[in-house]
Structure 1
Amino acid sequence: MTAVLYEVRDAVATLTLNRPQALNALDLAMIDGLAEASARAAFDREVRAVVLCGSGEHFMAGGDLKWFREQLALPPAERQARFSRLIGAVHASIEQLKTMEKPVVASVQGAVAGFGLSLMMAADLALAADDAYFTLAYCRIGLSPDGGATWSLPRLVGLRRAMEIALLGDRFDAARAGELGLVNRVVPRAQLADETAALAARLAAGPTAALARTKALLNASFTQPLSAQLVGEQHAFAACGAEPDFAEGLAGFFEKRPANFSGRE
């Protein structure tokens, strides 16, 4: 069974975690599959938006604890080295999702735990079914978070709430995730696929290069001084103004019609 399915339709790439019998828990095959699929989506010029979802009843229940338990047979030093290599491979996908020049939408249901929550937070937007439930969970098995959770979480919910979520490992529901700002919208489970498709189609029809620059500016804003951020905005604005989508956006406005963006630089 392919651990991560990849499909492109109408300029939207859908990456589907595909271990439903194991609640899509992260194993070695899925690590490789995520790296390959995220890189493929990032560099495919026909793709203008990306959806990240899970097959079956759950998005992802975190790492594969059975595999973790098997590693206890290794000496501590060897185990540490193996985990370091493993997390390095996992992080390649997170960085790809955060930096790719197209918007990424996470569509989640059921369990969103451990690395599943980290993965969801790596997306630019997130939709959750009303049956979704969330926990960072690492502290419950004596681990610290990975997958960029310690970077994304305080940016989304603030430092104090991030500490609570990470240090206590409590489980919370979709409504609470919405209140915290972890997800953009909570929808009935039966409507999740349609709502996700509609959002992805809207993003894919947008001015892709301008959206990519906006995404990069927002991600940089927490570590940039205002002067550097203003320079970044200046360069991005000027670059957008030299591209066909700017002319098309103006034409659509003055002709009182939707703009037909090409998404090209």
Structure 2
Amino acid sequence: MTAPTSSRSRVRAMTEIAERRVVSADGPVLAELHQDGVAHVKLNRPDQANGLNVELLTELHRVIMLLHGDDRVRAVLITGEGTNFCAGGDVHTFLAKGRDLPAYIRVATAYLRLVATGLIRLKAPVVSAVHGYAAGGGGMGLVCASDFVIAAQSAKFIAGATRVAMVPDAGVTVTLTHLVGLRRAMEILMLNPVIDAAQALEMGLITRVAPDAALLDQAWELARTLSAGAPAALANTKRLLWNGLGEGIEAAMPEENQAQEILSGMEDAREGLAAVIEKRKPKFTGR
């Protein structure tokens, strides 16, 4: 039988819980720093498959900046609430913007660029645990900007940008090519195949596959293993590995964003978004 908890112990426990909090417990992004040094970041728009809009991206960037400034953070675990990790950009919001979409895309992609760069430049290693779908610049972008990716056996990956007459963003044109090679990246980004977890592992897109029921346990185990490692050694190893890509990622993102803004103002983009929502084949005209 456990001994009764004293008032002093209860106060201490409550204080420790309060100190773990990095961000408030509601909103589009949840984050908590645990005592083992693992910061758990949750995408929290489950009803929209964690689709990225400006509000979520703004908050995610704010969280990442908080993690950058907190020396207690030894590893980061990213998960998605609900049935999907992240289904990419919020197509319903995008389509609703109509002819104002380019202005909205300009802001959204600017924040997505900051998010991807922030994860890559974060000293702490980043682990993403993917279930359901990881799609578009959101899902694939977060996957490609993470240091480790564990996917549930039933997880699926799809690029999806050209399917809605847009281009990949979040640096995916560089990071994906580095991970899987030019020919495979060309196929993934231009033909938009649905990639299952086993295929993703075989091509080098992810680190490992876990049984669905064990996904979070294995992701936490990996994050805690990294958290227990030598922080300066891991941070410098991460930096050197990412620097091996040269300036390609950060140089590509502004060009991706500019192309995205231009394309989002075309009729084809609105047709592509409508087709995804209505679950039909798009009819592109080149306008």
Could you tell me the TM-score, scaled by structure 2's length? 0.74
State the distance in 1 between where 2:116 and 2:165 align.
22
Name the SS for the 1:6 alignment partner. strand
Higher relative contact order (CA 8 A, sep 6+): 2
Q: Aligned partners of 1:217 and 1:27: how far apart in 2?
A: 32
- Cα deviation for residue 223 of structure 1 reads 2.8
> Which residue is 1:31 aligned to?
57
Partner of 1:95: 117
Specify the SS of the correspondent of 1:145: coil
Equivalent position of 1:175 in the other structure: 198
Q: 1:90 to 1:223 in 2, by over 3 A?
A: closer
- Looking at structure 1, the residues matched to 69 and 185 of structure 2 have their Cα atoms a distance apart, in angstroms, of 33
Of the three residues 86, 98, 114, the one matched with 1:60 is 86
In the alignment, structure 1 residue 86 sits paired with structure 2 residue 108: yes
Q: Residue in 1 aligned with 2:170?
A: 147
**Deviation at 1:120?**
1.3
Q: Aligned match of 1:189 in 205, 212, 215? A: 212
**TM-superposed deviation, 1:41:** 1.4
1:197-222 per-position Cα deviation (integer Å, ceiling 9, x unaligned): 11001000001111111111111113
Whole-Å separation in 2 of the counterparts to 1:200 and 1:215: 15
| Deviations, residues 206-249 of structure 1 (Å, cap 9, x unaligned) | 0111111111111111339xxxxxxxxxxxxxxxxxxxxxxxxx
- SS state at 1:105 partner: strand
3-state SS of paired residue (1:144): coil
Distance 1:85 1:18 in 2: 20
* 1:204 is the counterpart of 2:227: yes
Distance 2:210 2:65 in 1: 29
84-93 or 205-214: which moved more? 84-93
Q: Deviations over 1:77-126 (max 9, x none)?
A: xx434322321122111111000111000111001110211111111010
Aligned length: 220
Residue 15 of structure 1 aligns to a residue whose secondary structure is: strand
Could you tell me which residue of structure 1 aligns to residue 131 of structure 2?
109
Match of 2:142 in 1: 119
3-state SS of the aligned residue for 1:58? coil
Cα offset for 1:29? 1.6
Match of 1:47 in 2: 73
State the secondary structure of the residue aligned to 2:124: coil
Partner of 2:33: 8
Counterpart AA for 1:212: A
Measured in 2, the distance between the counterparts of 1:24 and 1:47 equals 24
How big is the shift at 1:67? 0.9
2:215 match: secondary structure: helix
Measured after TM superposition, the shift of residue 148 of structure 1 is 1.3
User: Who is 1:239 aligned against?
Assistant: none
SS at match of 1:62: coil
Q: Which runs of 5+ in 2 are unaligned?
A: 1-25, 248-287
Find the aligned partners of 2:226 and 2:213 in 1 and give their Cα distance.
Answer: 22
* Structure 1 residue 37 displacement after superposition: 1.1
Distance (whole Å) between structure 2 residues aligned to residue 51 and residue 207 of structure 1 = 18
CA contact (8 A) 2:54 2:107 kept: no
**Equivalents in 1 of 2:152, 2:143: separation in Å?**
13
